[in-house]
Amino acid sequence: MATLTSGRKTVLRRELEAIVGPGGVLSDPDELLVYESDGLTLFRALADFVVFPTSAEHVAEVVRLAAREGLPFVARGAGTGLSGGCLPAEGGLVISMMRLNRVLAVDYENQLAVVEPGLVNLHLSWTVGPKGYYYAPDPSSQQACTLGGNIANNSGGPHTLKYGVTTNHVLGLEVVMPDGEIVWLGGRTRETPGYDLAGVFVGSEGTFGIATKIVVRILKKPQAVKTVLAVFDQVDQASGAVSAIIARGLVPAAVEMIDQLTIQAVEDAFGCGYPRDAAAALLVELDGLRVGMDAQAERIVQACRDAGAREVRTARDEAERALLWKGRKSAFGAYGRVSPAYMVMDGVIPRTKLPYVLRRVNEIVAAHGLRVGNVFHAGDGNLHPNILYDPRAPGAEARVVAAGAEIMKVCAEVGGSISGEHGIGLEKADFMPFIFSAADLAVMQRLKNAFNPTGLCNPGKVFPTKKSCVEVGPVAYKPHVIEEKGLAQRF
């Protein structure tokens, strides 16, 4: 792609400012740096402009400008993504949705809300909470991540075991198509005519267009919640307990697993009450009616005991429950106690394959001379091995990337998937052939062509590059400018 001359850049900047206002365009290299990567700092790219529209019409005008100029563009939310999905191509536009962050309407009677894509996930639950409602998908980054980003990645979270992921809660979307046309996909009602375009758009990683309004379902808060902690001396026992719970005819709201390394990091950092000598712990949450809650909890307790749990206890009150969840949700930060850096993996396997795959993960990481902490959505079979490493050690990053690829291969071999919630983005584009044939990818490409025929909308994502990842090899770590200045550190 042609690099813009500085004269052309000045002209385009003025044109963009005419659309979004003078405070809505960044083009100084220092300012653009902030937008050169997402939560996966391995990949970086600089845009020519970062633009901050405040309406769908702004977005459409900016997109039309980009289309006219042949400039690639990508929408960006909070930048908490973990696969490089919102990185710009080298050059082009980043369209930040952060100023489109309003709750436009809440319809309690019909249990839906209409929101803008820059709205922070948790803020929606805050908005509808006082009336007894909430928005179910709860990614761990929900205090920062936006609903538009959730749409792009079809985000999950701990409670998706019972309630489903983002796509199960989206009724309709207003979308700016890659040619600048504003189109509604789905709507507020069910049974909209034709193909389920809203369903296809969710999880398309920003390659089909830019959502500017989102209609989501809001749910009544459950009457009662109960949280059970089961402690195991062997990881295999904890893995077995997951299927045992399901075999007893229960679908808990969440079943999360935390391994020993992670427990110790969490206890060092926060002291949440997990036993430090446990090989693994399961955090099981039930929600629903008050009636029958104790009986259901008893089934969970029995299933865990039968699977070999050495201790099973139920959170006595909300404070204890909150503390247990704090341990789970703060695990990523707690790794900072035990390692200067880590890389989070995301894979999915059939639940019954948990014991085997967790063993393989440990073997693979050990073979590369590294350590791994596991904290993940066991009930869904959604693994998050976090490979710990020291970026200053020569070759460490290459070993992490190699181990990650091997783990993804194991997930694929047991009939699983290479991503449960973080997306393919740039990171896993070359892993796609692990689970999809050329014919599968060809249909996906044709679907993309129907939405995004020029390819200018978020190019380079999802599909494998011509070169395989093995030939390319991992990207060597180089500290970011803001890391060198001591302003930020990598996790």
Partner 1 sequence: MQDALLERLRAVIGPANVLTGVELSPYVVDGRTPEAAVFPGALEEVAAVIALCGAADVPVVPWGGGTAASVGMPAARPGVVLGLRRLARLVEHEPGDLTVTAEAGVTIAELQAALGGRGQWLSLDPADAERATLGGVLAANAAGPRRHLYGTARDLLIGVTVVTADAAVVKGGGKVVKNVAGYDLPKLFIGSYGTLGVIVEANLKLRPVPDDERLVALRFERLKDAAAAVRALLASDLIPNAVELLDPTAAAAIVTGAAGGTPGLGTTLAGVHPAAQAAVTAAATLVVGFDGLPEQVEWQCAELTRLAASHGGRDATPLPRAVWPRLAAGARPAFPVATAVMTFGVLPAQVAELMEQGAGVARARGLQTAWTAHAGVGVVNAALVSDGEPREPGPVAAVLSEWREMARAGGGHATLEWAPLAVKSQVPVWGDPGAAGRIMQRIKAQLDPKGILNPGRFVAGI
Residues 409-448 that bind partner 1 (CB under 8 A): 415-424, 428, 432, 435-437, 439-444, 446-448
Q: Does position 177 bind partner 1 by CB under 8 A? A: yes
Beta bridge pairs of residue 167: none
Residue closer to partner 1, measured from CB, 236 or 397? 236
* HSE of 12, CA atoms in CB hemisphere, 13 A: 26
Indicate the burial class of 250 (C-beta count within 10 angstroms; 0-12, 13-18, 19 or more): middle
Residue closer to partner 1, measured from CB, 295 or 470? 295
Residues sharing a CB contact under 8 Å with residue 215, sequence separation 6 or more, in sequence order? 112, 113, 114, 170, 171, 172, 173, 186, 187, 188
The span from the CA of 378 to the CA of 259, in Å, is 11
- Interactions with partner 1, residue window 332-351 (CB under 8 A): 348-351
Residue closer to partner 1, measured from CB, 277 or 298? 298
Contact status, residue 378 vs residue 354, Cβ threshold 8 Å: yes
Q: Which of 197, 282, 396, 403 binds partner 1 (CB under 8 A)?
A: 197
Q: What is the DSSP string of 88-128?
A: PPSSSEEEE-TT---EEEEETTTTEEEE-TTSBHHHHHHHH
Q: Does position 362 bind partner 1 by CB under 8 A? A: no
Residue 164: left if φ>0, alpha if ψ -120 to 50, beta else—which one?
left
Q: Does position 298 bind partner 1 by CB under 8 A? A: no
- Interactions with partner 1, residue window 456-475 (CB under 8 A): 462
φ/ψ of 475, rounded to 5, equals -80, 130
Write down the least CB distance from residue 36 to partner 1, Å. Answer: 24
Write down the least CB distance from residue 153 to partner 1, Å. Answer: 6
Contact status, residue 201 vs residue 173, Cβ threshold 8 Å: yes
Residue closer to partner 1, measured from CB, 97 or 242? 242
Write down the least CB distance from residue 251 to partner 1, Å. Answer: 6
- Interactions with partner 1, residue window 214-233 (CB under 8 A): 220, 223
Point out which span in 64-72, 292-300, 310-318, 399-407 binds partner 1 (CB under 8 A): 292-300
Contact status, residue 98 vs residue 52, Cβ threshold 8 Å: yes
Separation of first and last alpha carbons in the chain: 33
Write down the least CB distance from residue 304 to partner 1, Å. Answer: 15
Residue closer to partner 1, measured from CB, 106 or 200? 200
Beta bridge pairs of residue 383: 347
Q: Does position 183 bind partner 1 by CB under 8 A? A: yes
- Interactions with partner 1, residue window 102-161 (CB under 8 A): 107-111, 153-154, 156, 160
Q: Which of 80, 121, 204, 339 binds partner 1 (CB under 8 A)?
A: 204
Q: Which of 288, 340, 459, 479 binds partner 1 (CB under 8 A)?
A: 288
Pairing of strands 73-76, 93-96: parallel
Write down the least CB distance from residue 450 to partner 1, Å. Answer: 4
Q: Which of 144, 205, 157, 151 is nearest to 174 (CA)?
A: 151
Residue closer to partner 1, measured from CB, 449 or 489? 449
Residue closer to partner 1, measured from CB, 101 or 204? 204
Angle at 424 between CA 383 and CA 89, to 5 degrees: 145
Write down the least CB distance from residue 165 to partner 1, Å. Answer: 6
Residue closer to partner 1, measured from CB, 108 or 126? 108
How many residues lie near partner 1 (CB under 8 A)? 87
Point out which span in 11-19, 243-251, 312-320, 324-332 binds partner 1 (CB under 8 A): 243-251
Q: Does position 64 bind partner 1 by CB under 8 A? A: no
Residues sharing a CB contact under 8 Å with residue 178, sequence separation 6 or more, in sequence order? 63, 67, 208, 209, 451, 452, 453, 454, 456, 457
The span from the CA of 305 to the CA of 237, in Å, is 10
